[in-house]
Structure 1
Amino acid sequence: MNDSFDQRASRDGGPLPVTLSALEHYAYCGRQAGLILLEDGYTDDAATTRGTLMHQRVHEPGSETRGQIRTLRALPLFSDRLGLHGVGDVVEVHPNGRPVPVEHKSGAYIAGGPADVQVAGQAMCLEDMFDHQVPTGVIYSGADRRRHSVTIDDELRQRVLDLADAVRALTSGLHLPPPAADQRCRGCSMNAQCMPKLLAGQRAYTQATSRLFRPAPEANLP
């Protein structure tokens, strides 16, 4: 593991905790993460409901052994050193003791997307928990019913740390990031709550708020 990761993680006596799911949300859209973390504003749609149902099948805590691989389900993951915590869908423990996180997603896999960040964060937690290097993770896509291998390299590790810092800054500053107002918004379950088209145009937003919150006329004094 890179020394730079250790130095960054241990500064100021230990970082504030960040959930692994928050990393994925922020990687997808900072405003989405802000609405969830600051306003408890998570909203479901058909896609998120499919994901919830899929995770119900893998989030039953338990373990089993097939061949030489032990499979752990719904394993709590944490790293006090990095300030990360969450729950792993599936962790496969190989004969040499190496754990491999397997994150389940209902949609299609996008290489380099937010899911890569989440599984990398899981791998980094497992390295501290098992005292074993975790060079790869796996994302299972329900859309194509395939496993996709993710290389946990230094670049991806740095991305995890940068996003964790961004989440900490978000929760400390208590200010929502601006909307993305791009193609991501079409597939976001929180589109109606976020109002990206309205807020992206500051002029239209200002005009709308001025109409809604006009000051009351001053009363005529005798």
Structure 2
Amino acid sequence: MSAAPLPAAAPGGPLIQVTLSTLEHHAYCPRQAGLILLEDGYADDAATTRGTLMHQRVHEPGHETRGAVRTLRALPVWHDQLALTGVCDVVELHHDGRIIPVEHKSGSYVPEGPADIQVGGQAMCLEAMFGRPVPIAAVYSGADRRRHTVAVDDALRRRIADLATAVRRTLSEMALPAAPADQRCRRCSMRDMCMPRLLARAQAFSQATSTLFRPSPEAAWDD
């Protein structure tokens, strides 16, 4: 398995550091990530509160060994060359050399969704730290109480690198991405802060009026 190409350092300085949780937010909705990064905005709802309660145990630093598996909890991870940083809910160290990060989510698992981005980034950080391949990660879903395997393949690695670049662009330009105003907004705890429908209507009105009041070329006038 070949690794995705790593970005070069930005001209005049190192890459802007990006957290793995920010990558997950940006994968779900770029505007949500922008509100958190640029306006220090965040809001809880029932779903985010359930997630917080679920993470209370795994976010307590510690370790334990059961059989052939040593389990680390709340492990800080980083990748210097990619300028990524984060905290793993759980990392399993198997006696056969396998390293498996396990991300815990209170909701349903969505294949190839934002949770894959976060746990895939954790795997890439662990590779850099331990110096060995981490081709498999996992997402534990509290909704179905199941563990879902995530392949940390080239496609996922490219998505993670591209998302990190997009997050850095948001930070550099200091501009909020447009509101999607789609089905994601109904499940977002930040919809009242974002006001996606209002912004979408304003954008549609602006486009309509700019066309309506655009002067026609002189040759097209009908006197």
TM-score (norm 2): 0.88
- 2:130 pairs with 1:130: yes
- Whichever residue aligns with residue 5 of structure 1, its letter is P
- 2:207 pairs with 1:171: no
- Whichever residue aligns with residue 57 of structure 2, its letter is R
Whole-angstrom CA distance in 2 between matches of 1:182 and 1:127: 36
Verify the 8 A CA contact 2:4 2:154 in the aligned structure 1. no
Whole-angstrom CA distance in 1 between matches of 2:8 and 2:143: 36
Q: What residue in structure 1 maps to residue 103 of structure 2?
A: 103
Aligned-residue CA RMSD in angstroms? Answer: 1.6
> For 1:106-125, what aligned pairs fall within 5 Å after superposition?
106-125=106-125
Whole-angstrom CA distance in 2 between matches of 1:154 and 1:204: 38
Whole-angstrom CA distance in 1 between matches of 2:107 and 2:59: 18
Deviation at 1:136, TM superposition (A): 0.7
Verify the 8 A CA contact 2:64 2:70 in the aligned structure 1. yes
Q: Taking structure 1 as reference, are residues 106 and 176 closer, same or farther at Cα in structure 2, changes over 3 Å only?
A: same
Deviation at 1:205, TM superposition (A): 7.1
* Gapped regions of structure 2 (runs ≥ 5): 207-223
- 2:138 pairs with 1:151: no
TM-score (norm 1): 0.88
Verify the 8 A CA contact 1:119 1:137 in the aligned structure 2. yes
Deviation at 1:14, TM superposition (A): 4.0
Deviation at 1:172, TM superposition (A): 1.1
Give SS of 1:137's match: strand
Q: What residue in structure 2 maps to residue 69 of structure 1?
A: 69
Verify the 8 A CA contact 1:14 1:82 in the aligned structure 2. no
Q: What residue in structure 1 maps to residue 217 of structure 2?
A: none
Deviation at 1:9, TM superposition (A): 4.8
> For 1:1-222, what aligned pairs fall within 5 Å after superposition?
2=2, 4-6=4-6, 8-9=7-8, 12=11, 14-202=14-202
Q: How many residues align?
A: 205
- Whichever residue aligns with residue 19 of structure 1, its letter is T
Verify the 8 A CA contact 2:15 2:83 in the aligned structure 1. yes
Aligned identity (percent) is 64
Q: Taking structure 1 as reference, are residues 154 and 204 closer, same or farther at Cα in structure 2, changes over 3 Å only?
A: closer
Q: Taking structure 1 as reference, are residues 9 and 97 closer, same or farther at Cα in structure 2, changes over 3 Å only?
A: farther
Whole-angstrom CA distance in 2 between matches of 1:4 and 1:205: 42
Whole-angstrom CA distance in 1 between matches of 2:96 and 2:3: 25
Deviation at 1:203, TM superposition (A): 5.3
Verify the 8 A CA contact 1:60 1:74 in the aligned structure 2. yes
Verify the 8 A CA contact 2:3 2:154 in the aligned structure 1. no
Deviation at 1:204, TM superposition (A): 7.1
- Whichever residue aligns with residue 63 of structure 1, its letter is H
